[in-house]
Structure 1
Amino acid sequence: MDDFEKAVLFSFDQTGAVDLGLKARAQSYLDDIKRNPESWRLCVARFPSSGYVEVKFWCLQTLQESVKGRYTSQPPEARLQIKQTLMDWLQQMSSADLPPFLRNKLAQIIVSIVQVEYPGEWSSFFHDLLGMLSEGPALVDMFCRIMTAVDEDVISLEINRPQEEVKQSMQLKDAMRETCIKDVANAWTGLVAAYHSVNPDLTVSVLAVVERYVSWIDIGLVANDKFMPLLFSVMGTSSEQLRGAVVDVVTEVVSKRMEPVPKLALIQGLGIIPTCCQWASSPPYQEDQSELGQKFARLLAALATELLESWKKVDNQVTSLQAVGLAVNAEAAKEATTACEAAQRLLDDLFPAILATLRSPVEGVSVIISPFLLAYVNKLKRTSSLTQPMMRNLEATMEGLASCASFPSEAALLGDSDQDEDGAGGSAAILDEDDEVAHLSRRTELFTVFRNIVKLIPERAYSFVEAQLQGIVGQSSAAYHDVEVAISLLYQLGEGAPEDALKADTGAVGRLALGLMQVDIPCTSHRLVAISLMEAYMRYARVLQSEAGQACLPRVLGIFLGSCGIGHPDEGVSTRACYLFSRLVKQVRGNLAARPGLVHSILTSLQPHLANIATDPPAGTGAQKTPSAVRPHHAGETSATDDRLYTFEAVGQLLGQEEIDGEEQLAYLSALLQPLLSQIDSNLPGGGAMLNGGTASGGAQDRSALLVMQALEAITRISKGLPSALVTRTRPKLGALLMEATEKAQRVPRLLPSNKPLRARYISFLHRMVEVLGSSMMGYFPPALEALMQPGADGQDMCEVIILLNQLMIRFKDALQPLLLKALPVCLKLVHALLPSEWDWSGRSFTPAATTGTKLAGAASASTEDSRERSELQRTYYVLLHTLSYNGLSSILVQTQPPLLDTALEALVRGAASHVEPATRRTCVQVLRQLVTNMEVSTGSRQYMQQRVAGDVCIKGLFQGGLDARDASTATLLLDVAQLLKLLYEKCGDELLTYLGRDVLPSLGAAPALQEQLAQHVRSSDAKQLKTWLRDIMQQASGLPVRSSAASRQKAMTASSANGAMLS
């Protein structure tokens, strides 16, 4: 071992045994060699002589770099020596035992030279390569590697290449077509024939090359009477890999881009249709051959898709010609008809095999055929009339879809042979979540196909679903997956069904749904069946509203309330049942009003569930993850709160009806609220749960806070079903119970001020009580706001308070003035403590666009999040000022002490003049307009209006950049600015125009003509005309073309255009 070999071995060392300094010196030594233009000589000398694969790899890698970087600059004799050496190495491959990675690297180097010299200086390359094939398998292997490298490094356009490389790819393919590709294709045939039985792995490599080249060579080079029969004979070999390689090549041949009529001729000439048809009864793969099964499925899908596309293209060509008024001669029409009929006939022949593939139990097989089925059904939707074979195909497809959509047995997924299939065992077992997600995703595609078939043949689809349902009703031995898929198919019928079909008495779908509600369904304890059944009941709730359906109400509601629904042992099922029950109650609420006995029964049945939900909140902040399998039909995001609380919402809907006896209603509501209020009391500091002879631990405090949150949310949900008029006027005793709840809840922010989730839940509670109790809440606002607006509140806290204040102002208007006189100054101080004068009021630093993609860690990330919260607070603050101004409460702001008022006005002006969001600017401008409207004109106010509002906001704010005049939101802002300018002129008169012309416009570099136009428009034009003029000036200042067609505007612009640029 000499120093060179040592250096290579040291540089490749990964064990850590080599000193880092020594390794660095070795790498430096090798880098010096690489920089030498003659480094290739060392490589060609040491590659064959060294016994170390690391040295051989370094030599090949360095030689490749030299060829790519310096080959064209080498003298002819050096290039010839490099080529000759490489070809000599190839010749020696029959005896050399090189690892595959060295063979690949050698192939890449040769292709790098081919890329430069073929066909000009090395036109014989491919024939030279073909001449070596007779020397044995090692040369055939290198042939395959070189042909693969040619495709990957030069020809293939599947990766993005520079334009020069695209041109090079086209030139190489053209040259190969002219000189050698026919001989290469003949070699493929010979190699497959010679090696398929003695060396299947090598044959797989040959076929992998063929697969790469089929897309751009003459199809006759492979689709001929020699190669294709050979492939079909090899397709029956025992080698799974070889069979798969054959199938891949045939798939490429079938998928080759061609005109439709030649494509049909190709498919018929291949003779592949009869072979594929045999797969209907005898699949060409075993159940444990998933990869091979997927390859055969892709071939079948490609074949079917190509037939369908040929049919569509021929059909569309005729239709397109007729659409533009061109006649189609009889011969062309006959040829088109013949082609379409041939495609349809071949598809009909293939359909049994297609549906057998759809039903395949082999993983990943059935999903491959689904896109074709959807395309086929969509094509039939555009067909004028359906033939009998088409109808048979559609009916058979429905059967296949039902079979494929059926959940596999849980035992198969869980590997537990003791699992029941009738539901009892399955209820306790959860399918592997990844398997469920995959199956649900596949069902989505399958049901899309099914719904499209329903649109084509509705009556037959209804009959099919009816037969599926009849097959499970009264069958105690029915498997859960058969029951589930039958109900799911009924559910799918309801999506987009016509109104007439949904009627319970005359509609086919409505009758099926009613029938489902009238009978006992097997396997309802199984979680998947339970969810499907409740989803179906909810979808067809309108059936329950019909006269015939009302008799089914007790049965249906019993499913929701019993062990199959809310009481189901599976948490995902019970949670989903709570949500669906709430939705169902909203639908049938009116029907329940006349049945107090049933309502009483429902409320009684719910008592234990309500108690359990209230006292057993989910851990953490209340976020809950529902297993995927319990949402087979309904896509929804995870709720921020416990979805079981929808049950309380349903109870509120049931109780909030005037038809219920007043005393009973009061008793029910009291029985609901008292445990919840006690739960709040006992879990706040000072209550028994929080302090029981000492201070509660952190875990106990968290648990107590969750219980308080759960109780507050439960009360909030109950109140959603109670009309305000009912609790405040008709039956005020109900309102008194809610007032008591409000009193209890007031302690929450005072006793647990630092618990943000609990604070947010309390504010949500207040929002709801405002809507329900109205003015009765007025006395509770002062202490509530005092508790919520404490020193140290952050941006999120203040946003929540401001949103609450906005609701109160909109709801109570002038009645809120006494409260606002005290609360508004406190709010302003807290806001400006968070948004000081040095805050970036333009919002440029903290808009979503400015922070997207930023990845920070630790304190930097926390600081960025804090800034985002403050930026959101700024926008919310402007909305507060807007709400004040537009609800007759701007006098409250004006009455604020001057330092605080000045700070608020400064924030408003800076936002109106500079914020990057036009919508935010518009909010500020509207507030300013309202303030100016109510402002008494004095020397000081006139100066403020001219300088800050007109100058800074209306003129400088528009023309100092930051806005796109073409944007729709900017256009609405400009209208408000124009209205504000008109209002300012009313207040200040020509003094305003003098100030703008003397001090503001010259500072912007405006030409005198522009100053005159502004004065003219402000005096004489209406707001819309002024807005249009402002937009045109903004566009011209930004270098954008002005699209202004009005004659008057054109005349006004002429003078300014003559002066050149209006704004420098």
Structure 2
Amino acid sequence: MDESALRGLGAVSSPDPQTQAQAMHYFEQLKNSADGWKLCAQAFSTGLYQGNDHVRFFCLQVCEHYLKNRYQQADRDEQNSVRVFLMSCLQLASNEGTQERTFILNKVAQIVSLAFVFDYPSRWPSFFEDILRTLNQGHKAVGMYLRVMLAIDQEVVDREVIHSAEESVRNTAIKDHMRETCVAQVADSWLQIMTAYETSQPELVCMCLDVVGKYVSWIEITLVANDRFVPVLLRFLNQPLLRESAADCIYEVISKGMDPMAKLRLVESFFTVLDGAGVLNPPEDEEGDYLAKLSKLVCGVGQALICSWNKLHKTGNAESDLAEIQTALEAKIPYMLRFLGNEDDDVSGAVADFATEYIALLKTKGPPLSPTQRNHVEGMLYTVVKKMKYDECYNFEQEGEDEAMFMDYRKQMRVIFNNLAQLDSDLILMTVHTIVTQTLAQWEAADFRDVEMALTLLYSVAEAVPASHGQHFSGNSTKVSALQNMMRLLVTSRVSCHGHVIVQLQFFETAVRYDKFFQVEPEHIPDVLMAFLDKRGLHHESPKVRSRCSYLFSRIVKSLKNHLLPYLEEVFSGLQDLLVLNAPAGSSANGVPHLLSDEDQLFVYETASTLIISSTLAPEKKQELMKSLLTPIASKFEGLLGSLCNETSEDQQAAYAKCIYNAMALASRASKGFSGTQTMRQCGCVPAFTELLRLFGMALDTPSQRSHIQAGVRQYLHRMVVCMDAQILPFIPPVLTHLLKHPEARELYDFLPLVNQLVMKFKAEIIPFLSEILMPLVNAVFSVLMSPADERDQEAASDRKFLRRGYFLFLSTIVSNDCINVLKALEMGSVNQVLMSVVQGVVEVQDPPSQRCCFMILKKLTEAWGSGNDGIVGFPDFLYKNVIPACILAPLSPSFDLNDGQTSLALGECATCLKTILEKRGEELTNYLQKDYLPSLHMSTEQSQEFCQALHTDQKTFKAYLKNFFMKAKS
């Protein structure tokens, strides 16, 4: 072998890139040469590189490539060579005097399994006889045998490996032949290994148990579930080094797919033996990992019985069989409850699926529950409630991995809780009501975890016992009475004053979850408002509480806005210090700590705005309040802008730009309170917002942080288009003028949706304004798209692609919203420029969404001007010279993939465009196609006639024809 090339392999080799490249090149050479694998096989099996594991692994990889790609077609001599090599590999791995690395052993096992799937049984019928013969060579040979069995499972059985249909047929044939010939012998080998190495090599026994667990799913069950195997498995359950693997193995045996009644007998026989041996009643101080395995085993028992019951229930089998399975299942519930209630969450979680499926079975059976079943359900409920409580060691200050795992576990328990509620909502309501009333009556003396649990249960009732039409406080009188009683107690108990963060957060979450309660009993509104506004909520010492309350308060205000007029003054007073624009980080004005982050302030501004706008105050008063809300933004804006322009530090420039952006975002969010019934004009608030428009427009002259500033202005303009009428239009041209001074692809692309929004809102009313900005905008787009660019700059290429797409969407918006006359009013040269850009978009742009959009534009133009009576001069000629050829040439392009979904949509629009031209031009089009255009493409008279006949069919038929037409033309 090439020694110089091999030096580039492995972690101990030279890091020199050239040496590594040489090694990779040599690797490819050996893989692709006819005899490369033989060279590597010889080097490995003769021990030539015994001290260099990286080179040996390299050799095995070359052999693996050969087996995967060329071995299936090998002749008899090569098959024999492979077999000799593989047996020598097994011999080497079995050598008691050598210590092979695990990754080498695993790769050898994988290679053996690859040869196995190609050779067994036809080309290597003695495979199992040969490999079983190696077992007398010692424990290393046994280990290698077990690795091969695991590798074979991965190639032939493992359901997580995706197999082709051909491989599935092959794998089925392999398993069938194994069942007929050698599985009994193989199963005997497992038993011999487990008993022979039980004390001396426990890791081998664990690996063997893993093998048994994997193979039991498809071999005859009696090969394992017999008087020889089962006592050994039970014995292992008492041995610390073997018991977890033994429990997993028994789980796999019990989970095997079988006839329902046969499964019942298997499960019962195992369970009886396990229970009789005391396995399922472990001591309280038992080690957690083993308990989790036993819990999983109990879960497997329960799921197996439930699966058997469901199968029989679906087929309508004898009631006596169903009753027998049901009786067996009910007897297992106490074991499930014991493990579900274990203090170790891993142990509890391992049996959660059993609990969930048992509840589902009870729902399938339907009421009434038997006394035993009701006891089981109540036991599950109290167990789940207990287990949902926070652990004593939960770190609320610094939540890490353990805390995340507990929250995932808590979700599991909540799923069981919700399922129990669907089964018996009265039980849930009664239990929760008892817990909540007892706990809140003495919350000051209770453990905070119990208080939090009570509030969480109250919160959970909303989703566990869903309300009709979202109304928890109407309908079922029992439920309404219980919920109102609990909510009344929640507010009046003053549990919101609890000192623990998690209790206070859950109080606010619950109050907002049941916001309709305060509409039913509005006398409690002041209490909940004050809780939000004082040191319990928005002014809490914890940033986490303040942040969450900023969102929750916006929710409850939106819900109760019609009830809040009497409390406006108190609310605004409580929000006053939160409505101050946060100073830039690092600035001299930043001495005052921010109570809320910029993102949280958005909710507060929206909340304040909602209160003003939704109130019954006179427009003058609303205008005054809105002005006071926006004044902190306006008063600081010019100063911030000046500081940004004078700042030389890039970090500080970024900080000022972020603050300016936040100011505009807050103003935008303040406009969210307006609606169709409470418009900005009706509320008298237009002047306050137009003043900010003027101020924000000044920021566009700022040379630094341009993209950040423009994003803020655009965001504000989008909101103003929604809220204002034509008052917005004078502010757009200056913004566009700033934008077009130094246009960039991304900025133009981001600006176009704003113009689209204006067009869609104002339609024909906007034509004078659109006439003013159209060509400057179009020219700016062309200028950016045609400017030189680095082909290697993927980001720039992506920006141009999206700008082009945005430009075509802009034109489509114009022609689809009664603004097509803005094109008609252009000078002829400009009209031609725009129209040709659309044709080029169809033919030259390799972007299906853009092509589709261009076809839609051409169709709309044809609908408006195609008849030649009311459009631009010469448009019918444009159709014949440009549009019709585009409809034919674009799909003929190699880049037009007729099998692609997006391209298929573009082709559909192409067909619609041609049909529209036919509608407008009639037989003139048919004659042109038959006599002039199609013959110029070297189409015969018959083909031209066939095309025109298809054109006269319905849309769906013509589209299908068009696809076939172009597929034939391109083949």
TM bucket, shorter chain = 0.7 to 0.9
Q: Which of 554, 559, 578 pairs up with 1:582?
A: 554
- Matched residues in 1 for 2:770 and 2:58: separation? 83
Q: Which secondary structure does the structure 1 equivalent of 2:617 belong to? A: coil
Q: TM-score, normalised by structure 1?
A: 0.76
Partner in structure 1 of residue 190 of structure 2: 188
Conserved 8 A contact 2:884-2:914: no
Q: Which of 472, 476, 483 pairs up with 2:439?
A: 472
- Matched residues in 2 for 1:491 and 1:212: separation? 44
Cα 1:792–1:372 shift into 2, 3 Å: farther
Cα 1:900–1:366 shift into 2, 3 Å: farther
Partner in structure 2 of residue 210 of structure 1: 212
Q: Which of 731, 747, 760 pairs up with 1:797?
A: 747
Partner in structure 2 of residue 1034 of structure 1: 962
- Matched residues in 2 for 1:930 and 1:770: separation? 29
Q: CA deviation at 1:455?
A: 1.9
Partner in structure 2 of residue 541 of structure 1: 515
Cα 1:707–1:187 shift into 2, 3 Å: closer
Conserved 8 A contact 2:384-2:413: yes
Q: Which of 643, 651, 656 pairs up with 1:704?
A: 656
- Matched residues in 1 for 2:22 and 2:202: separation? 46
Cα 1:152–1:837 shift into 2, 3 Å: closer
Q: Map residues 225-240 of structure 1 onto 2, 5 A cutoff.
A: 225-239=227-241
Q: CA deviation at 1:604?
A: 0.6
Partner in structure 2 of residue 551 of structure 1: 523
Q: CA deviation at 1:617?
A: 7.1
Partner in structure 1 of residue 388 of structure 2: 405
Name the aligned partner's letter for residue 898 of structure 1: M
- Matched residues in 2 for 1:965 and 1:200: separation? 57
Partner in structure 1 of residue 468 of structure 2: 498
Conserved 8 A contact 1:67-1:112: no
Q: Which moved more, 1:268-277 or 1:368-377?
A: 268-277
Q: Deviations over 1:740-770 (max 9, x none)?
A: 2222222121335752232122122123234
Q: TM-score, normalised by structure 2?
A: 0.83
Q: Which secondary structure does the structure 1 equivalent of 2:793 belong to? A: helix
Q: Map residues 578-977 of structure 1 onto 2, 5 A cutoff.
A: 578-593=550-565, 595=566, 598-611=567-580, 614-616=581-583, 642-657=599-614, 659-660=616-617, 664-685=621-642, 689-690=643-644, 695-722=647-674, 732=684, 734-751=685-702, 755-787=706-738, 789-813=739-763, 815-836=765-786, 859-882=792-815, 886-887=817-818, 889-911=819-841, 916-917=848-849, 919-929=852-862, 931-932=864-865, 936=869, 941=874, 943-948=876-881, 951-952=884-885, 974-975=911-912, 977=914
Conserved 8 A contact 1:251-1:299: yes
Cα 1:110–1:1037 shift into 2, 3 Å: closer
Conserved 8 A contact 2:498-2:504: yes
Cα 1:958–1:872 shift into 2, 3 Å: closer
Cα 1:609–1:89 shift into 2, 3 Å: closer
Q: CA deviation at 1:261?
A: 1.0
Partner in structure 2 of residue 1048 of structure 1: none
Partner in structure 2 of residue 250 of structure 1: 250
Name the aligned partner's letter for residue 460 of structure 2: Q
Cα 1:644–1:527 shift into 2, 3 Å: farther
Partner in structure 1 of residue 260 of structure 2: 260
Q: Which moved more, 1:349-358 or 1:914-923?
A: 914-923
- Matched residues in 1 for 2:765 and 2:79: separation? 97
Q: Which secondary structure does the structure 1 equivalent of 2:690 belong to? A: helix
Q: CA deviation at 1:982?
A: 1.9
Q: CA deviation at 1:446?
A: 3.6
Partner in structure 2 of residue 447 of structure 1: 414
Q: Deviations over 1:166-222 (max 9, x none)?
A: 666555544544444334434433443454345433432332332233222221121
Partner in structure 2 of residue 302 of structure 1: 300
- Matched residues in 1 for 2:181 and 2:88: separation? 24
Partner in structure 2 of residue 315 of structure 1: 313
Name the aligned partner's letter for residue 468 of structure 2: P
Partner in structure 2 of residue 349 of structure 1: 331
Cα RMSD of the aligned pairs, angstroms, is: 4.9
Q: Deviations over 1:461-502 (max 9, x none)?
A: 112222332343132243444333433333332233335971
Q: CA deviation at 1:396?
A: 2.6
- Matched residues in 2 for 1:385 and 1:1007: separation? 76
Cα 1:488–1:619 shift into 2, 3 Å: farther
Cα 1:1026–1:722 shift into 2, 3 Å: closer
Q: Which secondary structure does the structure 1 equivalent of 2:495 belong to? A: coil
Cα 1:1014–1:361 shift into 2, 3 Å: same
- Matched residues in 2 for 1:666 and 1:23: separation? 73
Q: Which moved more, 1:826-835 or 1:947-956?
A: 947-956
Q: Which of 381, 385, 389 pairs up with 2:367?
A: 385
Partner in structure 1 of residue 226 of structure 2: 224
- Matched residues in 1 for 2:75 and 2:888: separation? 64
Cα 1:281–1:643 shift into 2, 3 Å: farther
Q: Which secondary structure does the structure 2 equivalent of 1:819 belong to? A: helix
Partner in structure 2 of residue 568 of structure 1: 540
Name the aligned partner's letter for residue 934 of structure 2: L
Q: Indicate whether 1:508 and 2:440 are aligned.
A: no
- Matched residues in 2 for 1:743 and 1:67: separation? 73
Q: CA deviation at 1:695?
A: 4.1
Q: CA deviation at 1:710?
A: 1.7
Conserved 8 A contact 2:641-2:699: yes
Q: Which of 488, 496, 511 pairs up with 2:456?
A: 488
Conserved 8 A contact 2:40-2:60: no
- Matched residues in 1 for 2:617 and 2:664: separation? 25
- Matched residues in 2 for 1:866 and 1:38: separation? 52
Conserved 8 A contact 1:767-1:804: yes
- Matched residues in 1 for 2:274 and 2:769: separation? 86
Q: Which moved more, 1:800-809 or 1:7-16?
A: 7-16
Cα 1:578–1:340 shift into 2, 3 Å: same
Name the aligned partner's letter for residue 317 of structure 1: T
Conserved 8 A contact 1:504-1:543: no
Partner in structure 1 of residue 591 of structure 2: none
Name the aligned partner's letter for residue 424 of structure 2: I
Name the aligned partner's letter for residue 753 of structure 2: I
Conserved 8 A contact 1:480-1:523: no
Conserved 8 A contact 1:913-1:953: yes
Conserved 8 A contact 1:469-1:487: yes
5+ residue gaps, structure 1: 319-332, 415-425, 621-638, 840-856, 1041-1060
Identical-residue share of aligned pairs (%)? 22
- Matched residues in 2 for 1:143 and 1:349: separation? 41
Cα 1:65–1:651 shift into 2, 3 Å: closer
Q: Deviations over 1:623-646 (max 9, x none)?
A: xxxxxxxxxxxxxxxx99724311
- Matched residues in 1 for 2:414 and 2:147: separation? 45
Cα 1:94–1:386 shift into 2, 3 Å: farther
